[in-house]
Chains A and B, each alone.
Chain A
């Protein structure tokens, strides 16, 4: 019954306060418990493997099992924390608000802002078309709109959490920066190419009137924001966990059984074609980044280089086939081609750059 009074818009917002307090107190012990469990995961996994399952950590099977028992809870815990945090941050940025911020911004500064807002604005590639129309209609330049559309799926919290968990903060930071730079530059290039004429004509003819935007800048209570974060955890982690488990299982197999250095010959830093290949392989794959990263981590342990790995990741989530098919409704083939071409070039450059640096 409480839910009903809460959502009816006209109801007075009085009874929200006490629960807010309770919810906040509950959050702190939960975070402490999280940190405590996280710290002991490695030890528990080793003890389980050796004393309970009676496997030696030096054996193939033992090292695979210990890897699995440690990585699964670790990655899932990180995922829950990051998705929750990002969820709370996102409750501040509705797409409507992002559009208001971006409207009236010029290119360049607009590209930078759009790419950054792409990270914190909730986005699902199934709303790419309405969002695109809404942005263009408000007069946001095409290139700026693209900066947003590139960064929103590419720099996503699941990828960041997994990279952080399996490769450390440095690789996660590199990924975040590279994703932003690609979105900014690619959007800017698309803007410079003057590709407005390759947007389907009806988009510009569509007269939705001067934008009065149902600006839903309602102030959310902190309790609602926490709920928003928890909802995000339920939805995203609920969807992604089987892929994570499967990925780590494959990774554990590689970890225990594949000999050291085997992959250096064809996924190492000496083979120039591994990066274009990684980009090509990534395009038809969609949303399974969660399952791919653990496998990739195990591959890298055996000699694969970071460049192709990052290129592959970005291509999987930044250039997805389903999204392009949806965007075809508003973009002519040449613009889609331009979009894919510019982004793929960016990913290639990032891949080569990291192979050269690291």
Chain B
């Protein structure tokens, strides 16, 4: 599973990255977290607000840092539909 954290490197974006990595572990899902800071890439995913989270190229979260429990939920559903 390809997981992208989209953001300009602001503190919230770094928090989302850290939390996603934690959630990935507690969900027991295999995946790689990538931090995208390039605005062209972000624009191509049609994200309006950062921080955002995309899984396999599909935007799941935008404009907020969800709780770890929420992230676990998002990751497990994504893994199940994969």
Co-complex (A, B):
yes
Total interface residues in chain B, CB < 8 Å: 27
* Interface check B33, CB cutoff 8 A: no
* Interface check A51, CB cutoff 8 A: no
Q: Is the CB of B76 within 8 A of A130?
A: no
Q: Which of B7, B46, B64 contacts A134 (CB 8 A)?
A: B46
Contacts of A9 in B (CB 8 A): 77
Most buried by A among B12, B44, B47: B47
Contacts of B72 in A (CB 8 A): 4
* Interface check A330, CB cutoff 8 A: yes
Contacts of B63 in A (CB 8 A): 94-95, 122, 127
Chain A, 2-18, CB within 8 A of any chain B CB: 3-10
* Interface check B30, CB cutoff 8 A: no
* Interface check A53, CB cutoff 8 A: no
Contacts of B18 in A (CB 8 A): none
Q: Which of A40-48, A163-171, A208-216, A295-303 contacts B (4 or more CB under 8 A)?
A: A208-216
Q: Is the interface of A mostly helix, strand, loop or mixed?
A: helix
* Interface check A196, CB cutoff 8 A: no
A-B residue pair count with CB separations less than 8 angstroms: 78
Q: Is the CB of B10 within 8 A of A206?
A: no
Contacts of B13 in A (CB 8 A): 126
Q: Is the CB of B47 within 8 A of A130?
A: yes
* Interface check A353, CB cutoff 8 A: no
29 contacts between A and B (CB under 8 A): A3-B70, A3-B73, A4-B69, A4-B76, A6-B73, A7-B70, A8-B74, A8-B77, A95-B48, A95-B49, A122-B63, A123-B49, A124-B12, A124-B49, A126-B7, A126-B13, A127-B49, A129-B39, A131-B49, A134-B43, A134-B46, A134-B48, A137-B43, A206-B44, A208-B44, A211-B46, A213-B46, A214-B46, A214-B59
- 15 new A-B contacts at CB < 8 Å, known A6-B73, A126-B12, A206-B40: A3-B70, A5-B73, A7-B66, A7-B74, A9-B77, A94-B63, A124-B10, A124-B12, A127-B63, A129-B39, A130-B39, A130-B43, A133-B39, A214-B59, A330-B39
